[in-house]
Each structure stands twice: as C-alpha cells, then as structure tokens.
Structure 1
Amino acid sequence: MSKAKRLVLFLIVLLITTSLHCDLVYGAVSEGTMTYCDWSKGEKSGTHYDSGDDPSIAITKAGIVIECHENGSGKLYYRLGSLADDGSVEWATNGGTYYDNGYSPSIAVTDDGTIIEVHGDYSWLKWKLFYRIGKLSSDAQSIEWVTSGGTNYDTGKRPCVEVLENGRILEFHDNGSGKLFYKIGMLEDDRIDWVQSGGTYYDNGYSPSIAVMGNTIIEVHDNGGLKLYYKIGYLSDNGEAIYWVQSGGTYYDSGKRPVIALTANNQLLEFHDDGSGDLYYYVGTLINDQIQWQDRGGIRNDYDTGNTPSIAIGDDGTIVEVHNNGAYELYYNTGKVRTTDGYSNWMETLYQQYPEFGEAVLRDVLLPGTHDTGTFTFDDEGDPHDLAPDSFYPGSTEYNAAYAIRDMIVPFSQTQDLDVKQQLEVGVRYFDLRVGPYMVYENGEVNIDETDLRTMHGIYGEGMDTIVDEVSQFINQNTQEIVILDFQHFYEMTDTSYQYLVNQLTSTFSEQLISLTELKSSTLEELWNSDKHIVILFTENEGSGAYIDNELILSRQSSLINTYNSDNLDITAFSSLLDEYLNTAEDELLFVLQGVRTPAFDIGAILDGMTLYELSEETNPVVLNWLEDNYDKTGNKGGGNNIIMLDYMDYKTIEKIINFNIAKWK
C-alpha cells in the first residue's frame, strides 16, 4: 500500500474513532461539585520512609502498597506495606529490598496481583529499557521475581507502564532526546509479547505518564523545560495501535515530571512539580476529547514540597503519593479522594436539618467571606495587567515605576483564585468589593470609561457587570441563601459611575434587597419567606452618601463593624489580634473579622517576590484554629463572630466555617 493510501486510511479511521467518542462525557460531576485529596495528616505533612530518587507506587486489589525507587547510584529497591487506620503506611521491612540495577522505575499491578516493573539502565553506551514480572509472596512480605534480572525490550529512558482490564500492557517512554514512544503488549506465561518490535513515535517531549478509561488513553508529559501537555487517544479495536485525537499535545500548565491517574468515578488526578520545589495536583474531567480542569482554587493544589511525584489510587478512593524531597529523601502522603457538592445551598440544608437555624438573624450566622473578591482574574480586555488607581493613579510617579514591573505585581495583588460563581457554589456568602471605573493612561492623558466599573487591588480585576449577573443567577436558583455585597471602597467614581451602579443593582435585584431594619431584626426564615436575599452595603466616606437610603442601599457605617490593622504582619501575634478584633463586635451590627495580612503596596516587597498566597498559607490555619475556641464567644461589647473574611478561600476552609454553624445550631 502506498504512503498516500495509508495516510487516507489513517485519517478515515481517526475520523470514525473521533466521531464515536466526541459526545461522550467521562467522569462528569454536577455543577458546583469539588473533587479533592483529603490528606490524612494535612497538607505539607509528608512522612519520611527511605532515601532515594524517582519513586513509583501501586496498590493491589487487596490493599497492599508496592513502592520501588532507585537509590541515586543506579540500584533499584522495592518496599511493601499496608495502610493503617491513621493513614500511615506499615512497611513490611525497615528498609528497601534490592532487586536490580537501573533508574526511573515504574510499577503496575494486574487484577490477579501480577507485578509488572519497567526501568531504564545505561549499558554499552545506550539507554536501554527493561521489564520484570513478579508475584507477591503468600505472606505479602516480599516479591518473587520470575527471572533474576530484567528483560531488555527497547531503548529509551523514563518509562511508565499501565495494565488494561483485558490484560493489555501499555508502556510509554522518551528516547532521551525529546521524542516520545509507546509500546503495546500482552502478558503471556510470565513474559510480555510486544505487538511492535520497537516503540511507536507519537509526540515530542519527556517523562510521559498515562491513565486509561476503557479504550481511552490520557497521556501527560513535559517538554523538557517547564511546560506540561496532555494528549487524548483511543486504542484500536484490535488493541494494537493508538489513534490520537490531536497531532500534538495540548498545553495545560507549567511544571515537569507529571503523573496522572484515574479515580473510581472517572475523575483525573494529575500531579507534578513546578520546577522550584513545590508539588501540585489538579483534578480534571474528560469531556469531548478535552480535559476540563477543575478550577485550581477549588482546593489548595500545592500539597507538599519536593519533586518526581508518583501516585496510586485504590478502588475505595484511597490515595498514596510518594516523592523525593529534593535531597534524595523519600516521603509519602496518604488520604482519600473525595467529591463534595460544594455547599452551594448550605444555608438551606442547615435549615432543613436544624429548623431553629431559621430563627436566627443574619448577624448571628457564621458566613464565609472573601477579601478583595474580584482579584481572581485581571483585566482581559485591555492590557492584561492594567494598573488600577486604588494604588497607582494613572500617570503618577508610582504608576510609572510600577508599570515596568506590573507582571510582578500580580502575586502581590491577587487574593482569590475562584471566580464569583465558583465562590458562591463552594459556599461564600460575603463579598468584599473595591470598585471604580476603568482608566487608561495613553499619550500623557488619563481616559476614563465612567460605566465600565471593575474591581481592583493594585491591578484591575473582574467587572461588576459579570459579578452582578452571576450573583443574580445564583440567588434565583438557590432561594434560601443570602448574599452580602459589601462595597468597601470606591475609587475615582463620578456621579455617572454611581448612578450606573445603583441602577444596575436595584433593577437586577429589585424586591430581593434587604433593608437596614430587616437586616437587624428579621429572621432568616422571615427573609426567605419575603423573597429577600441580597444585602448591599456602600461605604459613606468616598462620595457615595447621596446614594444610600438604608432601604435598598445600606450604609456600611450603620450596618457593619469592620476590623483591620495595617501593621498585622506578625503571624506569632495574630491570634491576640483576633481577640482584639472580637472585642469590637456589637450585638446588632454585622461583624467582619478580617483574617488577612495584606501589607501596603511596596516596590521592595514586590521585587522580593512576596505573594499574598504565601501569607494566606500562614494566616488561614491560624484563623481557623482561633475559631475552634472562639466561634461562639462574644466580645466585650456583646457581639460575637459573624463574617470570616480570608484570602484564598477554598472548600475545606468553608467546610470548617459551616461546621462551626452546625455546632452552634444543632
């Protein structure tokens, strides 16, 4: 057959294969759900278990953990263990058992417990690939290998292996020079019969990893730098070839050494290191031959430090992760893969379970809140990092100095990584909004669009049109939830800007707006029965007083007590500061506990690489620990906790705040 005819035939097969699968949705979960790893010992709490590099992990049907690694000097070891109730691994031996020479091992287990291991080794001026086959001993204390050494099956480096339900074996590797290959084989009489004598080239890159759903192949790899790609393919009917949907990979993030695995409900978990010593995981769903990644802010994704991660997921959702800490010390994390509905209607659910909750006023409910709500994104219409006048007035000396390093300002400005719709769905009910019209400095002049209102925090964030629309859609679908929109600051607003915003808010929410009298005296049940769901607060000290009537638009100063200390960067004294905050709370006014440590904009701090995310990693656990002891306490003025406002709010934090409500009302 000519090359032209082969190409035509391949395109026809690819078209047919793609058409058969283009409408399939694998692992789809309902809108608002979150899948995450619930680590047994928390994040960044890995347990040391050995020394070495390039670990690989697998779990048998019986729950036996099998780990293999190389010792940094070309010797391969394995370890066996089982999971204890507290999440620790009880290893069968104190140290690893030597089994071969080589590098970068990968391990897989068949349903009947057969162990397949692949690795690379340098021999006769070539990188060669070897496989070994073994069985667990009857007491699960050792592996009984079929042969004394590995069987050479190809040349290359960094192999990975996966076993399909029908017994097919998929092996992927790179050739050490930036080309990726796969091989397909069958396990026959303690050996692998390969379909191809050599590997089949499919893309450029390094360090491949695969997950398999039926006959669908999901592959991830890096480009040898710090870019990650995935590819989707389908196993042919005869099981001897893979037809790829894309000719090249689809870029999805920066990082290296990715690994991917499949959960019991067909969610994808991808792990990698970022090249700078931090480990991340992402959750994805395969929809129409593309991976739809769960928003990275849904659950904190940087779970530990180190490199070369490997993961295994059991049928019951148990996950075991292993990695090198960057200094040839090996650590593991264990936990469960969990999926939650995201608490999109947690107020309604709490009311159904505990009817007395409906007798509370909003002031007495613990509400998750986000600080600088709109900073999950930055301007995507003009310059992607347009400086905003809350910190840098266009054309000023500060503006001109900051403009040259505006990309570096983003980590100093961003405080959230869920958009407003996602924040609502995971349970946020208070939104801190800093708003002003869009201003551009061009040719020595400041141009202002008075009705293009946007959030800001050093850089312009999400627009108010989008935020109002998303809140409206959410409230109309969740009729027993209440949302507070707190316009804490206005910047460079004109009368036209205020009129546009007020008309937008009052026309969109209309009869759903809660008056000051209702806010202070009406119970949740009364508000819901009256179809009242939205509290709008305007600050009074920035030209907005003329638009406050306390019926539709409420005065912040008459409705709320806000806590903030600009010198609160000392984490060791933060709990004491929260005590001071609580003592300012009053009985009838909403109370915002600002659990944030946001320094003033400082070019020096920006150049040093300070990020608000790093500050939140320190601060949020302190706030939650403080709440454990103080969630139902009152301060000197008779008021208790109410709105808990944090940077980088996520599901697990919200879950704890909601649980404080349960403890209070059950």
Structure 2
Amino acid sequence: MTKSAEEGEGRREVTSYCDWMSKQPPELHNIPLFNLAIPGSHDSMSYDLDINSSIIEPDRLKPFSNIYCVRKIVRKWAITQEENVTKQLDAGVRYLDLRIARKPNDTNPTRLYFYHGLYTQTDVETVLKDINEWAEKHPKEILILALSHFKGFDDATIHNHLINFIKTLFGAKLVPRKATPTLKSCWDQGRNVIVSYDHRVHQHPEIWSKITYYYGNSMDPTKVETTLDQNLKRARPSGSFFVCGLNLTLPEDAGALCYVLRLCDSLANVIRRSLPKLLQWVKEQAEKTQINIVASDLATTDDFVPTIVKLNISRYVKA
C-alpha cells in the first residue's frame, strides 16, 4: 500500500510507509524505540482464519464446532485484519500480535498455527519465513514480533522447538533483549527484528520477555479510551516497550449475542465506525503523555499508520 504524507515544510516527503523508518529525520535516529510511536496490528493473523477449523474460543461455543453456521459466525466476529502480514508490513505496521496454538492430535508434534476463535489456515513457520524474507528486503525497518498465548503447548519441548526455529531463522537480525535499541543502533548493527515471547520458559538473550499490552476490554470506544487513559496514567512503564491497544473486545458473557446476532454486521464494520474516534483520542493523548506502540484492528486502514507515525514528528522534530 502506498501513501503520501508531508512531514513538515522543507523536510523530505514520505512517499511510502513501506519504508517509513528509513525516511525519518535525524532527530529521531537516536531516540530509544521505547519512546517512538510505532504502528502495530492487533491479532495480526486473524485474516487467515479457517472456516473448517474447530472452535477454540469462546469456550461455550466449542461444543458446536461441527455446525458450519456457528463457525461462520465465529469467523465473522473474529476477523480483525483484512490484509496478510506482508501487506501489513508494506502498509507500515511494525508490531505484530501473533497468538499461537497447537492443534490437539496433530500428527506433527511441532506444527503450530495462529488463532483467534478459530485456527488459521497457514502454519507458524511459513508465516515467520515470510516475515524474515520481508525483513531481509527492508533492513532499516525494525519489526517487533510479539508471540503469546501458546494454547495447547503441553510441555517445554514445543517452546524450545519454536524458540530454536526463531533463532535459526532470524539469526543475526535479532536485537538482544538487554539492548536499548534506537533506529541508528539497529542500523549500525544490521539488526532489525525484535521477538517478544510471553512465556516463562524462555531464557535466551536474543528473545525479549512479554511486552505490556493495555486495552479497553469493551466494544464501546468511549470506554476503551477511558480505560486506556487510566492505565497509561497509572502504570505506563519506562525504559521498555508497551502497547496501547485500540482494539474493541466482545463481551465474554451473553452480552456478546447483542453483536454476533446482527446478521448484516461484522466486527470489521464496527471497527470502521469506531476507529476515527479512537485515532482522534490517540492524537490528543500523545500531547499529554508518552505513546509507544499503538496496535489497532484494521491496521491497514488509510489513516491509521500515517496518524501514528506523524506523532513522532510533532513530538520530537521542530518545524
């Protein structure tokens, strides 16, 4: 996806958010990535959900996995992204929310998938290879991969297999977790992949621990804003990555039926109606407090990436 944006009179114009990090002015090169505004996608692999998959969540619908129309409803209300990972990266997304699971009774004990309500069609190793290929073609773009959940992982063996695969695949591109990365330090060292692994099993210097993710836990954008505002005031970390999640969340109780029974609606449509308001909140919030990673549903929507990237110019670059 190609877009145009003016970064200030007399400054170089960003003509494609595919390489927006490499186009940033010198004022941003030595600022810790913890302090930069970075666009991300929530449930990044949900565009790939398999209608033939068994239902993983919510628990109350698992017994109805054999009913096609139930799976179809789950899928319609679980898809939060419309473009594949490569197109998300092309659009300027630099943080990927990757929730991983192992299918029970899979004949391949180390074959893994992503999930959100249903399993994905594409396995984890295939997607990570695609991400690695993109990172090689864009060496000055820093990618942050947040791996989490690990549903169906019975023991440390699967974790160790996945971590070793990651270390082998990305190799010298991995930014070590004790670093305080900046754009310049990553460029100078030839490293452009940060992997966060949300499980206590890992003890690898190349792998980062869990990145704090704040979200509103509501379908009401006003409640999302209020909760995020409270969290950022009370518990925003310093000297580490953190995520401000703009994503909407379906209720875990029967209240979800108020949404999923809207036959002519979908989560994507609800998000489209809510995202402009949430982006306006981000711009106002960035004037009051530090914003780091901002993750959104429908992250390839035209206004999302430019809005987040421009926060860096308004904060750090004098006109």
Larger RCO, structures 1/2 (Cα 8 Å, 6+ apart): 2
In structure 2, what is the equivalent of residue 579 of structure 1?
A: 229
Which residue does 2:297 correspond to in 1? 647
Shift of 1:363: 0.4
Alpha-carbon distance between aligned partners in 2 of 1:366 and 1:387, rounded to the nearest angstrom: 37
Correspondence for 2:7: none
Q: Which has the larger radius of gyration?
A: 1
Unaligned runs of 5+ in 1: 1-31, 36-339, 440-445, 635-639
**Match for 2:203: what amino acid?**
I
Distance 1:516 1:425 in 2: 26
Q: Deviations over 1:92-137 (max 9, x none)?
A: xxxxxxxxxxxxxxxxxxxxxxxxxxxxxxxxxxxxxxxxxxxxxx
C-alpha distance in structure 2 between counterparts of 1:572 and 1:33, whole Å: 31
1:480 aligns with 2:140: yes
State the distance in 2 between where 1:586 and 1:633 align: 15
Letter in 2 for 1:398: L
For residues 457-496 of structure 1, the aligned pairs below 5 Å read: 457-461=116-120, 462-494=122-154, 495-496=156-157
Question: In the TM superposition, what is the alpha-carbon distance from 1:497 to its structure 2 partner?
Answer: 2.5
Distance 1:626 1:34, change over 3 A: closer
Give the number of aligned pairs.
Answer: 298
**1:517 match: secondary structure:** coil
1:548, 1:555 within 8 Å by CA — same for their partners in 2? no
Aligned 8 A contact 1:571 1:618 in 2? no
TM score, norm. by length of structure 2: 0.85
Q: Is the 8 A contact 2:216 2:223 kept in 1?
A: no
In the alignment, structure 1 residue 662 sits paired with structure 2 residue 313: yes
Q: How far did 1:533 drift?
A: 1.0
Q: CA deviation at 1:652?
A: 2.4
Query: Does the residue aligned with 2:141 lie in a helix, a strand or coil?
Result: coil
Q: Is the 8 A contact 2:216 2:228 kept in 1?
A: no
One-letter amino acid of the structure 1 residue matched with residue 223 of structure 2: A
Cα deviation, 1:236-258, whole Å, max 9, x if unaligned, reads xxxxxxxxxxxxxxxxxxxxxxx
Determine if the alignment matches structure 1 residue 529 to structure 2 residue 188: yes
Whichever structure has more strand as a proportion of its residues is 1
Match of 1:348 among 15, 22, 25: 22
**CA deviation after TM superposition for structure 1 residue 487, in Å:** 1.2
User: Given the alignment, which residue of 554, 558, 579 partners 2:208?
Assistant: 554
Q: CA deviation at 1:535?
A: 1.1
Partner of 2:160 in structure 1? 499
Counterpart check, 1:378 vs 2:28: no
Pairwise CA distance, 1:465: 1.9
Separation of aligned partners in 2, 1:595 and 1:565: 7
CA contact (8 A) 2:37 2:293 kept: yes
Equivalent in 542, 563, 566 of residue 214 of structure 2: 563
Q: CA deviation at 1:524?
A: 1.9
* 8 Å contact from structure 1 (residues 370, 647) kept in 2: yes
Q: Structure 1 pair 484/473, CA: closer, same or farther in 2 (3 Å)?
A: same
Unmatched runs of 5 consecutive residues or more in structure 2: 5-13
State whether residues 450 and 493 of structure 1, in contact with CA within 8 Å, keep that contact through their aligned partners in structure 2: no
Percent of pairs with identical residues: 23
Amino acid at match of 1:364: N
Q: Choose from 257, 281, 304 the match for 1:626.
A: 281
CA displacement, residues 363-409 of structure 1 (integer Å, 9 cap, x when unaligned) = 01111111100011223xxxx430343545xxxx7322243111121
Cα distance in 2 for residues equivalent to 1:388 and 1:421: 26
What are the residue-to-residue correspondences of 1:138-157 with 2, within 5 Å? Answer: none
- Match 1:431 to one of 91, 96, 111: 96
Alpha-carbon distance in 2 for matches of 1:522, 1:408: 42
Name the structure where helix makes up a greater proportion of residues. 2
Retained in 2: the 8 A contact 1:514–1:533? yes
Does residue 1:358 correspond to 2:29, yes or no? yes
Task: Verify the 8 A CA contact 1:391 1:457 in the aligned structure 2.
Answer: no
Q: How do residues 276-287 of structure 1 correspond to structure 2 at under 5 angstroms?
A: none
SS of aligned partner of 2:46: coil
Tell me, yes or no, if the aligned pair for 2:214 and 2:228 is still in contact at 8 Å: no
Kindly provide the CA deviation profile for residues 388-436 of structure 1, in whole angstroms up to 9, marking residues without a partner as x: 43545xxxx7322243111121111100011000000010000111101
Pairing 1:176-325 to 2, within 5 Å after superposition: none
The answer to whether the 8 Å contact 2:215/2:224 transfers is no
Indicate the SS of the match to 2:212. strand
Distance in structure 2 (CA, Å) of the matches to 1:597 and 1:629: 19
Structure 1 residues 459 and 34: alpha-carbon distance in aligned structure 2, compared to 1, 3 A threshold: farther
Determine the structure 2 residue equivalent to 1:269: none
The structure 1 residue matched to 2:260, chosen from 598, 603, 606, is 606
